[in-house]
Amino acid sequence: QDYRAGNYNLYRKYYTETGNVIATEASVTTAANHQTLPQIACDGLNNLVVWQDYRSGTNWDIYGNLLANTIITDDPLSLAYNGNRHLVRKPNTNEFHMVYTRGGMVIYRYSSNEGVEWPRACTLGTGKFPSIALAPNGCAHVAWTDDAGGLWFRYQIDTKTWSQTYRLFVPGTNDPKLNSPPSIGLVVNRGVVYPHILVTRTGQGTGNVPHRVDDFTFPVTNPGSGAFELIESHTAPASPPVRTYPSIVKDDLDTLHAVWQRGVSDTIAYATRYRVGSWQVWSPPPLGPDGVQSAHPFVETYGNTAYIIWQKGPSPEEINKGKRTIGMYPPQWDINPLFSGTPTTKSFYPSTASGFFTVWADEYDSPWDIYYAVQPGLFVNISQTSGVTSQYPHSCMKYGLTANYLYTIWLEGNNAPYEVKFKKITYIAPPAFAYISSPAGQSSPSPFLVNRDGYISTGQIPVDYGYSNVQYRFQLLPDFIHKIKTTLYFEGSGIRTARIKAENFEQTVQYNANSPKTIEFIIPPQLYQDTVLQFSLERISGNCVSVGPIEIYRYEYETSGGPQDIGTMPLNPEKIMLNVYPNPVHKEFTITYALPYETKVNLSIYDATGRLINTLVNEVQKPGAYHKSIQSSNLAQGVYFVRLSTTGQSFVEKVICLR
């Protein structure tokens, strides 16, 4: 308390444990009368101040204030390399979860209003390099390491309760130690969350030792049962480590995607694993020469696309970006080299947000600043801290109807104590131009394509010309808004008429010769219950239909709430539904179906001759959504039928198995 204003008011300063001031002096209250006898309570992050207050002018009351809006750390490892995820957002909400370290402690923070405030925080344990992932119910799971090369884990039992702290691995005398930040992904199997913690480890001792890439996995109901599953091993001298910087993520189809850095040539390696399958390391490395002399890879998925971001040498290094369509085997990558577009300065620590934004640290116009780009070479400064070092960024994003939003955290400061900064960027995309189609026309790949039942090596929907009836099937995600856009065109003279059909939605359009007709409409919400949309263009009059690229745009609702798992069918359907995805099938496929009432269910697979191949379900089931994942390795190439029979009804889906 201080009398400087002619009465007693309260002021505060923040100090580190060593006595350094880390925040300027500020007033605690704004009242004009006496505030005295302050008390403070601290849980290590939040500071609750209470005091005696005379603001009423006639008697004393007790007031309080929570000082919790400053995110400061004196730990030089507060944000590690981009191999882990420091910031995540629950889909279709404004809820954010963050992890970092402070003074050797692993800190978790939560915000429910787009990071404007971070009032909820707690200390999870001691260590460094934390990584975070969210389960479908929105609960956070955090993994980290320590100076001894061990592995730690903690998770939220519910949104307000944390589990005990689990020390998953303590290296013994001869055990390989963790040498990089771990990365965590989550898979749900039979209602149980299975964390997959991707780590790289180096053996101890002199001479040649193993350098390993491991997946440490367990049911969250029993973390003590976890064990390392070897993905890759290499023998070499202990120093330097030749397997480093792991990154892992799960896609909407429960397939895990993993990347890491291989020395000595510093090659980016890539592996995949289905939920209950085995790891497959893709060889040769799919990124080819663009993934050699490279470091700090980061993998992300969104929709039906997987993205890998990495920094490519030799010095000065640049950011490269590759993407592939999930479900296409072998993986075929579309690579944008020199994505950062700063050839005279170093570009480090890249990450991506839903594949749309690419974020990294660069020396372009200050010691280090944080930049983002949507298109190669067109970069924007996020941190704007000239003369101050900003590094180790990580981001997530939200799609909106009128704009896209980028949320980024990073470590800032030239010396300890450092600050953890958070910033929101609003990005309004320039208007897209629809291409006119012709036999030699162009097509533009959709920015947010979802899978369809055709195999196109480039992952885009091509121009279709001269067909009387064009059909596609698109996967819809519940609680998203989807928009279809395409162009009709023909050359010559006269008028053509076409019918657009999307399930029970129908629209008739007319278009004139040599005048492209752009069709653009929002999918009616009642069609979203099926999650797969049958979309067709039918010729009514005229001798042809020429269709430009069919683009599917996907937006999130800009309101709170939303799905717990965007890959599921509705839990309370209005009708029986059956879907097979992906189709055609290359490796595995998922059968999903939904029941509006309790009924006897028989789910079976038949070949083209009608011979029964396998009965998957034959029992009475309650209302709800169900999934069955099938490996197609035992099926010969050809046509099969999935049949769902209930009391009084039968549904059939054709499946094409390819090799």
Lowest mean pLDDT among 88-92, 112-116, 287-291, 627-631: 627-631
**Residue 345 φ/ψ, nearest 5 degrees:** -130, 160
C-alpha–C-alpha distance, residues 611 and 27, integer Å: 80
pLDDT score of 290 more than 70: yes
Average pLDDT over residues 265-287: 90
pLDDT score of 26 more than 70: yes
Higher confidence at residue 163 or residue 631?
163
Which of 41, 12, 43 has the alpha carbon at shortest distance from 25? 12
Say if residues 487 and 518 touch (Cβ distance below 8 Å). Answer: yes
pLDDT tens, position by position, 366-388? 899 999 998 888 899 999 988 89
Contacts of 274 (CB under 8 A, 6+ apart): 254, 255, 256, 588, 629, 631
Say if residues 24 and 17 touch (Cβ distance below 8 Å). Answer: no
Bridge partners, 389 (sequence order): 368
Query: Would you call 515 helix, strand, or coil by DSSP?
Result: coil
Q: What is the pLDDT at residue 53?
A: 86
Query: Would you call 277 helix, strand, or coil by DSSP?
Result: coil
pLDDT tens, position by position, 458-512? 333 334 444 456 666 665 655 566 667 677 777 778 888 888 877 666 778 888 8
- Measure CA of the first residue to CA of the last residue in the chain; give whole Å: 77
Average pLDDT over residues 89-117: 90
pLDDT tens, position by position, 417-461? 889 999 999 988 654 332 222 222 223 333 333 222 222 333 333
Say if residues 511 and 496 touch (Cβ distance below 8 Å). Answer: yes
Bridge partners, 531 (sequence order): none
Q: What is the pLDDT at residue 475?
A: 59
Angle at the Cα of 399 from the Cα atoms of 396 and 405, rounded to 5 degrees: 55
pLDDT tens, position by position, 397-423? 887 656 789 999 999 999 888 899 999
C-alpha–C-alpha distance, residues 101 and 390, integer Å: 16
Mean pLDDT estimate for the chain: 81
**Amino acid of residue 444:** S
Tokens of 138: 């929105």
Q: What is the pLDDT at residue 563?
A: 26
Q: What is the pLDDT at residue 121?
A: 82
pLDDT score of 203 more than 90: yes
Q: What is the pLDDT at residue 545?
A: 57
Average pLDDT over residues 94-116: 92
Q: What is the pLDDT at residue 581?
A: 72
Tokens of 516: 């492209």
Average pLDDT over residues 505-530: 71
Average pLDDT over residues 628-652: 82
**Amino acid of residue 17:** E
E strands present in 160-242 = 161-162, 166-169, 177-178, 183-189, 192-202, 208-217, 227-237
Q: DSSP letters along 400-446, please?
A: -SS-EEEEEEEEE-SSSSEEEEEEEEEE-PPPPPPPPP-TT------
Lowest mean pLDDT among 104-108, 485-489, 613-617: 485-489
pLDDT tens, position by position, 29-82? 766 678 888 888 876 566 788 888 887 667 888 888 877 556 778 888 888 877
C-alpha–C-alpha distance, residues 318 and 339, integer Å: 7
Lowest mean pLDDT among 245-254, 454-463, 640-649: 454-463
Lowest mean pLDDT among 130-144, 536-550, 638-652: 536-550
Higher confidence at residue 567 or residue 550?
550
Average pLDDT over residues 227-251: 95
Q: What is the pLDDT at residue 169?
A: 97
Higher confidence at residue 74 or residue 141?
141
Over pLDDT 70: what percentage of the chain?
79
Highest mean pLDDT among 143-157, 421-435, 622-636: 143-157
pLDDT tens, position by position, 313-370? 988 899 999 988 787 777 778 898 889 999 899 999 999 998 889 999 999 988 999 9
Tokens of 123: 């200390």
CB-based burial label for 88 (10 Å; 0-12, 13-18, 19+): buried
Angle at the Cα of 35 from the Cα atoms of 64 and 3, rounded to 5 degrees: 140
Q: What is the pLDDT at residue 409?
A: 96
